[in-house]
Amino acid sequence: MSLLYFPSWLIVAAFFLVTCVSKGMIFDIRPSVEEYLPNYDFYHNLSRMNQCLHHVSSKYSEFLDVQMRYRSRMGLTQFVVRVSNFSLDSVSKSKSDNRSRILFSYGEHAAEFLPVQSMFHLIENITQGYDLLRETHGAKFTRYLLNNFDLFILTIVNPDGRTIVERTRNYCWMGTANSVDLNTDLTANLRRTSKGTYRIIAAEPECRVFRELTSKHSFDAFFSFHSGSRQILYPLSDENSKGSGVDVLYLASLMSSSLKSGFKLVPANTSLFDAGIFTYANQERKIPFTYKISLWGGKEMKSDIPDKNCFSTFNPPSEDLKAELEVIHPLYPTIFNFIHNWKQTQILIMAQQQRSKTGGVPFSVSFFIFILGCACVLLLCNIRVPFSWKIYYRRQRRIVSLRSLGTLFAVICPLT
Ligand SMILES: *[C@@H]1O[C@H](CO)[C@@H](O)[C@H](O)[C@H]1NC(C)=O
Ligand SMILES: *[C@@H]1O[C@H](CO)[C@@H](O)[C@H](O)[C@H]1NC(C)=O
Ligand SMILES: *[C@@H]1O[C@H](CO)[C@@H](O)[C@H](O)[C@H]1NC(C)=O
Ligand SMILES: *[C@@H]1O[C@H](CO)[C@@H](O)[C@H](O)[C@H]1NC(C)=O
Ligand SMILES: *[C@@H]1O[C@H](CO)[C@@H](O)[C@H](O)[C@H]1NC(C)=O
Query: Ligand 5 in contact with 236 (CB < 6 A)?
Result: yes
Q: How far is the CA of 45 from the centre of ligand 1 (A)?
A: 6
Name the strands in the sheet holding 64-67, side by side, starting at the edge strand that comes first in the sequence.
Answer: 64-67, 80-83, 149-154, 100-105, 221-226, 289-294, 231-235, 264-268
Q: What DSSP designation does 274 have? A: -
Q: How far is the CA of 350 from the centre of ligand 2 (A)?
A: 11
254 φ/ψ angles, rounded to the nearest 5 degrees: -60, -45
Largest CA distance in the chain: 115
A 10 A CB-CB count for 338 gives 18
Query: Ligand 1 in contact with 45 (CB < 6 A)?
Result: yes
| Domain positions in the chain | 27-351
Nearest CA to ligand 1 atom 6: 40
Ligand minimally distant from the alpha carbon of residue 44: 1
Secondary structure string (H, E, C) spanning 208-250: HHHHHHHHHCCCCEEEEEECCCCEEEEECCCCCCCCCHHHHHH
How much is the pLDDT for 282? 87
Rounded to 10°, the helix 245-258/331-358 angle is: 160
Measured between alpha carbons, how far is 265 from 227 in angstroms, rounded to an integer?
15
How much is the pLDDT for 129? 97
Q: What DSSP designation does 74 have? A: T
**CA trace torsion 177, 179, 183, 185 (10° rounding):** 140
How much is the pLDDT for 261? 77
Our separate counts of H helices and E strands in the chain read: 17, 8
Helix or strand or coil: residue 385? coil
A 10 A CB-CB count for 92 gives 12
Nearest CA to ligand 3 atom 10: 138
Using CB atoms within 10 Å of the CB of residue 42, give its burial: 0 to 12 exposed, 13 to 18 middle, 19+ buried.
Answer: middle
Measured between alpha carbons, how far is 125 from 60 in angstroms, rounded to an integer?
13
Query: Ligand 1 in contact with 39 (CB < 6 A)?
Result: no
Query: Ligand 2 in contact with 347 (CB < 6 A)?
Result: yes
Contact 340, 133 (CB under 8 A): no
How much is the pLDDT for 316? 96
Q: What DSSP string describes 126-190?
A: HHHHHHS-TTSHHHHHHHHHHHHEEEEEES-S-HHHHHHHHHH--TT--S-TT---SS-BTTTTB
Ligand minimally distant from the alpha carbon of residue 234: 5
Nearest CA to ligand 5 atom 10: 269
The whole-number mean pLDDT for each consecutive block of 10 residues of the chain, a chain of 416 residues, reads 45 43 57 92 96 96 96 96 94 82 96 97 97 96 97 97 94 88 57 52 87 95 94 81 83 93 84 73 90 85 66 94 96 97 94 81 64 68 54 49 50 45
How much is the pLDDT for 120? 98
How much is the pLDDT for 108? 94
Measured in Å, how far apart are the chain's first and last C-alpha atoms? 86
Q: What DSSP string describes 17-40?
A: HHHHHHHHHHHTSPPPB-SS---T
Ligand minimally distant from the alpha carbon of residue 127: 3
Measured between alpha carbons, how far is 228 from 264 in angstroms, rounded to an integer?
13
Which positions ≥6 away from 314 have C-beta within 8 Å?
Answer: 109, 111, 112, 113, 114, 171, 227, 228, 296, 298
Measured between alpha carbons, how far is 338 from 288 in angstroms, rounded to an integer?
13
Nearest CA to ligand 2 atom 6: 96
How much is the pLDDT for 181? 81
Nearest CA to ligand 4 atom 3: 87
Ligand minimally distant from the alpha carbon of residue 236: 5
58 φ/ψ angles, rounded to the nearest 5 degrees: -80, -35
How much is the pLDDT for 191? 39
Fold of 27-351: Aminopeptidase (3.40.630)
Q: What share of the chain is helix, strand, coil (3-state, %, to 5)?
A: 50, 10, 35
How much is the pLDDT for 361? 58
- Which ligand 3 atom minimizes the distance to the CA of 330? 5
User: Which residue, among 225, 347, 240, has the nearest Cα to 293 in the 3D structure?
Assistant: 225
Nearest CA to ligand 4 atom 10: 85
